Chain A
Amino acid sequence: MTTQPEASPAKEAFLQRIRQALGRAEPATSPPDHPPLKTNLVRQEEKLRTIRAKVEARRERNAERLAENATKVGWHVHRVETHDEAAAAVAAIAAGLHARNVVRTAEDCFRQADYDGPLRRARAAPIILASGRNRSRDSLKATAFDADLGVTGVSWAIAETASCVIVPRRGVARLASLAPPVYVAIVGIEQILETLDDYFATVRLEHMKGRGHVAAYANFISGPSRTADIEQTLTVGVHGPGVVHMLIVGRE
């Protein structure tokens, strides 16, 4: 990754006009006082320890809250004990759809149980959506757009907003959770955070630890794709998946 060349004259002129508008001639020498920007690594780690302890203590409660909120915004929620049960549930969903083209990503959860076997037996052998080695960008796109079911793990889930957080990276293509009309998210109970604040505090810590490096993309999925653009009538599945399943794996 290359850093782009230093500031342009257009930028300098732009910022200078802003300073004038604000009645200042010079750039500010000290950063403005904004508490969230002032914390240091030690304090942020402390904050995260508190969050982790809280989340751990309230796992079951948060799972229930996630399930309840998710149902309200249109997720089909399934609670299962183990990844084997989750794999069976995914296969059942595929069978119910008569799905033939299934795509999945390659998160850790897929190593917790054999997800592909039950799918194969449902005649819905999944393709791992990856652009590596023999799959070009265009063929990845075509495969994703042709799929009738997409299955992925998540990086986090947020109980407050019924959100699955997807962070694309190697093995995790963006299109797997976007292009197919039906989508399944596999959420481990240990991945559930309570609030938006918990999540952003986590991102902040990663950002600090990574010396300013962040993932290129993160996405919250909080229900089916929806629109109300015609006569304010709610319709699902306009561009993204119209049917979304959330499998919550584990119980405390």
Chain B
Amino acid sequence: MAAKAAAFKRSSAVAVRNPKLQQTLHHVVRHFTEARDAAVASEFPPETWEQMRERASSIKLQTLLNLDFYLDMVDRNVRRNGGHVHFAADAAEANRIVLDIAKRNAVKRVIKSKSMVSEEMRLNPTLEAEGIVPVETDLGEYIIQLAKETPFHIIAPAMHKTRQDVSRLFQDWLRSAPTDDIKTLCAIARNALRQQFATADMGVSGANFVVAETGTVVLVTNEGNGRMTTSVPRVHVALAGMERVIPAIEDVALFLRLLPRSATGQRITSYNSFISGPRRASDEDGPEEFHLVLVDNGRLNLLKDERLREALKCIRCGACLNVCPVYQKTGGHAYGWVYPGPIGAIVTPAMNGFARGADLPFASTLCGACKDVCPVKIDIPKLLLDLRPEAARRTGTWAERLLMRRWVDMMRARESLERSSRLARLMQRPLSREGVIRRSRLPLLAAWTQARDFPAVAEKSFARRWRDGLSRAEP
């Protein structure tokens, strides 16, 4: 368990030694950051963009502070629209709800458009165990599903796959001819998935936003699979983290300006769907049943902590991943769960009560690039710092913990600091050269000196030099 809880160190070390992965990461991350920067800078003066972020942040925070009120509003309005609302405390309950709906409707095949919550729930294996076939229809997710992997990036789940990888997967699973042409690969997927769309009995989608005032689920997509999923099958189930709520329909404009620009550098995505319940009697097509499942699954851990609460403002744009120097080197899988990158380093340990990702709060240089791009102004570095004491308690070695405790004691009092410094001066003599300790081979010290020189304790303390006349030497 401990190994699983704190696996980043090992998994990231593997990732940085994979040259192919490094090349792809470099390419993709640059593509995303350049597109985002261009989209933001070319259209808004910096002050305007800043005001938009500020407003979005405050709307999200106010909604979280009144989440009970707004969820009740969602519930009432979705039901007024003729839909059903379910509240799921955890992944198991959410799975049970979806399975119930599927069984009641004798569902054999489920088409899915992208839903991170369904990844949290591990919905696909749950459905499969009951003999129901789930089919991912977002091209990236489809590739990942065929490869039996998990998403590599919130926005680009299959970014680590080359066209050759995809061609091989399609040859194996769809018996298609080998090809190097991306257009052809897309066409192969289109044809394979069309049959699935036409025959599935249930569609499962995520939800980018849930509008409380109108009981509307908003989907932001590019491929059109989201529209298929929510229009063609007889039953539509939308899965939403409970923090997806925004109050009013007029708030959507702001978020639609922030999300695509931050995510892919687009002014708007090709499709935005606004789903308010099942088809009405007079409609020509559309699902006859609509269900919204609101999922907690550990979000309460964040909500109840005044400092961590703001992480729930996240609109999952992925911008913080792309600019993160750690993510840029390790990629998404190293983070070990559904949400990678800086935001993942917060929500993974917090949502899972540190049973996962306990070492993730350290997977950051605290450079602050994530904070600068975040469209809802989450102070990610600060939250990572807030999580570190707990993370250290969970992951540090006993020797390190002991050392740190001694360190704190030592720094607390003048005499103890001086006494310790004297002792350190004596002990470091065989190790230090020109004021630094280099590449020590002693246990514990080795890790601290492996990548940088460890400054030795100065021969003369500052206080000493001050007393000896440093102050008078200044002009």
Contact = CB atoms under 8 A, between A and B. Distances in A.
- Do chains A and B stick together as partners? yes
Interface of A: 1-4, 7-8, 10-11, 13-15, 17-22, 24, 27-28, 31-32, 34, 36-37, 69, 73, 129-132, 137, 140-142, 145, 161-163, 168-175, 178, 195-197, 199-201, 203-204, 207, 212-233, 235, 237-241
A36 B285 contact: no
B67 interface: yes
B280 interface: yes
A17 B295 CA distance: 13
B314 interface: no
Nearest to B165: A230
Interface string B174-203: 000000001101100110011001100000
B27 A232 contact: yes
B232 A197 contact: no
B272 A220 contact: yes
A227 B214 contact: no
A201 B300 contact: no
A215 to B, nearest CB: 7
A15 B300 CA distance: 11
Interface of B: 27-28, 31, 59, 62, 65-72, 75, 77, 79-89, 137-140, 143, 156-159, 161-163, 166, 182-183, 185-186, 189-190, 193-194, 197-198, 213-216, 222-225, 227-228, 230-232, 242, 247-253, 256-257, 264, 266-286, 294, 296, 300, 303-304
Nearest to B247: A34
A34 B69 contact: no
B315 to A, nearest CB: 16
B222 A219 contact: no
A225 B161 contact: no
B252 A238 contact: no
A79 B274 CA distance: 29
Contacts of A199: 253
A171 B284 contact: yes
A163 to B, nearest CB: 6
Contact of A229 (B139, B197, B285, B303): B139
Contact of B82 (A1, A8, A36, A73): A1
Contact residues of A: prevailing secondary structure: loop
Nearest to B281: A1
B138, B249, B282: residue with the most chain A Cβ atoms closer than 10 Å: B249
A103 B278 CA distance: 24
A17 B285 contact: no
Contacts of B59: 34
B249 A230 contact: no
Contacts of A168: 279, 283-286
Contacts of A201: 250
B312 to A, nearest CB: 11
A238 B285 contact: no
21 contacts: A4-B79, A10-B86, A28-B68, A36-B250, A142-B198, A168-B285, A201-B250, A213-B81, A215-B280, A217-B231, A217-B276, A217-B286, A220-B268, A222-B268, A222-B271, A222-B272, A223-B270, A227-B186, A229-B157, A230-B161, A239-B227
A27 B69 contact: yes
Contact of A196 (B62, B156, B256): B256
Contacts of A13: 87, 89
A228 B268 CA distance: 15
Given A28-B66, A230-B139, A231-B162, A217 B274 contact: yes
A50 to B, nearest CB: 14
B66 A32 contact: yes
Nearest to A26: B68
A225 B224 contact: yes
Contact of A239 (B72, B82, B225, B274): B225
A146 B65 CA distance: 50
A204 B271 contact: no
B223 A231 contact: no
A37 B303 CA distance: 24
A27 B224 contact: no
B185 A214 contact: no
Nearest to A105: B284
B58 to A, nearest CB: 10
A1 B157 CA distance: 39
A140 B140 contact: no
Interchain residue pairs A-B with the least CB separation, the first 9: A240-B224, A21-B304, A229-B140, A239-B224, A36-B248, A173-B284, A196-B253, A14-B87, A220-B272
Contacts of B65: 22, 32
Given A18-B71, A34-B248, A204-B249, A230 B166 contact: yes
